[in-house]
Structure formats: structure tokens, C-alpha cells
Amino acid sequence: MQKIAVLTSGGDAPGMNAAVRAVVRRGISYGMEVYGINHGYEGLMHGQITLMDAGSVGDIIQRGGTILHSSRSEEFKTDAGQQRGIDELRRKGIEGLVVIGGDGSFRGAQRLSDKGFSTIGIPGTIDNDISGTEMTLGFDTAVNTVLEAIDKIRDTATSHERIFVVEVMGRHCGDIALWAGLSGGAESILIPEVNVEITDVIHRLLEGNKRGKKHSIIIVAEGVCPASEIAQRIKKEAGLDTRVTVLGHVQRGGSPSAFDRMLGSRLGAKAVDLLREGQSGKMVGIQRNRITEVDFADVFTIENDIDLDMYELSKTLSI
């Protein structure tokens, strides 16, 4: 394989640039030509494909977002759109593609592979909702961003003796809420994977008040319900002074952590190695600190379970 390409698709995640850098420089080390595709699958269909060199990925490992930019494409979900993308790749003589993104991006990558075009995926999403890998690219940075916010919010919560409900991202996965909540000492953590009655949260708050506790942090994953609903219930049923903070897209930005820079570098290099070996239709991931490979079919069919032991631990430590 002499020519490969790389694109980023879907939501951006810290560490994507580290992965792009690794793909480009690993490929060059093998004597390959490496192309960058701008604006994801949409850019692929429109031929936004540029030859990259070692210098084009210099000074990016520390940057958040993605230098290749990203987008979502409805047209690429169609057979015609996918074939159009393959035609653009083959027009430049490109033989393999690395796709960095989440579940939707991988479904597009699988279809390219099914149509005979060699494709490898790198899990890049802050949500940590991809099966077959313990960590997705960007998750560690997002958790640390949330944790920094929790620490600051706790200062003002203590000063004013208030309850703060903090809403975090994650779609239908509660990992960001769980990891940041446990690390930040949140009094309650609400995640989609565990059904918790608001009355139980209120009960814990009132019990804490009886012990003299005047402030608390409640973390709610966006997949549960809006934080405003939780706050309204607490004010109405417990009469406690409550405020809401929705962290939003600040969680997707920022300089990647050391872990995400390392992970992006390792995954990017492994993706190139697999293409060089003639493999396709696989995702590279990490298990027990070892870089592994998983078929796309398994990624889509194996359930991505949350660590319920961590959840139980959070309840024990937040009394």
C-alpha cells in the first residue's frame, strides 16, 4: 500500500490532532504518501483531499479540535454518496483510509470496507460510548475539564451554602458524569444507565442538612434529563437554594491531556500498521493498556457497559 488518507468525522475530541499526526508520520516512515481529507465525509465526496508531509502536522499534538475540520453528512449515508467518496479516493490512487470519529463515523467506515475499500477506525469521541475499547480519544480530557469546573463550582457553592446541579455531556452514556462526579466528590450522580428517583436525591440532601451540610454538588448526564428539571424539583420539594450550570461544548475543547496525546499517537500508528498489513473493517482500541483491534461488526453488536462498581463506590463515598 503506497497511498493512504485520514479524516475526522462527527463531533471533535481532544487528541484527534495527535492521531492525525501519528497517521501522517507513521505512514511517511514507511515510505507512503499520506493525504488529509478536510471536513469529514462531506469533504471526501467533494474531493477536498490534500497531500500532507511531516511538517504539515508539526506543532499540533497539543492542540484541541481537529486541523482537518469535521462535519456530518446525510448524503454519505446513501450508497451513492459512499460510492462517490470511493471514486474520489481512487481518482488519487489512495488505497486505504483511516477514519477518526464515533459510532456514526464508524458505520460509514464499515460501509466503505464492505464495498471493498480498506478502512480502519480510531475511536474519537468524548462520550466514551464505543464498545471494544476501554477509553475513547478525548474522554480523559473531557473528564478533567468537567472536574476543573466542579472544583470551581464547589468554591462558590460553599461560600453561598447552595446546591449546584451540573449538567455534563455524554449523550446516552454516563461515563463523563460518573468519572468526574466520583473524582470531584459529587454528592449525587445521575446517569442514564441507573434509574434514580429524584426523591432519593432530595432525601440525601435533607439528611446531609441534618448533619450540618449546607452545600452539595449534583452531577447529571444530559441523557437523563435537563439539569433545570432536577433543580426545580429540589427547590419545590426541599426548599433548598439551588443553582444550575450546564457545561456544554466547553467539554469538547481545550488542549488534550497527556493520556489523550499518548492514546492518539498509539492508535494512529496502529491504524497505519493494519492498513499496511492489508487489514480492513476494524477499529483500533485500548484494553489493559495494550493497543488492540476489533471488527466493526463487534463494535456495533457488543453492549458498552458502564462500571457499576464505580457507581456504587460514588454513593458510599458521598455520604
**Residues comprising the binding site for Mg(2+)?**
103
**CA distances (Å), 280 to each of 38, 80, 95, 277, in order?**
22, 21, 11, 9
- Supply 216's cell numbers: 452539595
Count the helices and strands in the chain (H runs, E runs): 11, 11
Q: Which of 53, 79, 87, 127 is catalytic?
A: 127
- List phi, psi (to 5°) of 263: -65, -45
Binding residues for substrate: 125-127, 162, 169-171, 222, 243, 249-252
Binding site feature residues = 11, 21-25, 72-73, 102-105, 125-127, 154, 162, 169-171, 185-187, 211, 213-215, 222, 243, 249-252
The H-or-E segment that residue 230 falls in is: helix 227-238
Known binding positions for ATP: 11, 72-73, 102-105
Coil vs helix vs strand at 114: helix
Q: Would strands 33-37 and 49-52 be described as parallel, antiparallel, or unpaired?
A: antiparallel
Contact by Cβ (8 Å): 154, 162 = no
Is residue 12 flagged as an active site residue? Answer: no
* CA distances (Å), origin 78, targets 13, 111, 166, 189, 281: 26, 10, 39, 40, 18
Measure the CA–CA gap between 8 and 40, rounded to whole angstroms. Answer: 5
Q: What is the largest CA-CA distance in the chain?
A: 71
> Do 93 and 32 meet the contact criterion of CB atoms below 8 Å apart?
no
Q: What are the binding residues for ADP?
A: 21-25, 154, 185-187, 211, 213-215
Task: Please give the positions annotated as active site.
Answer: 127
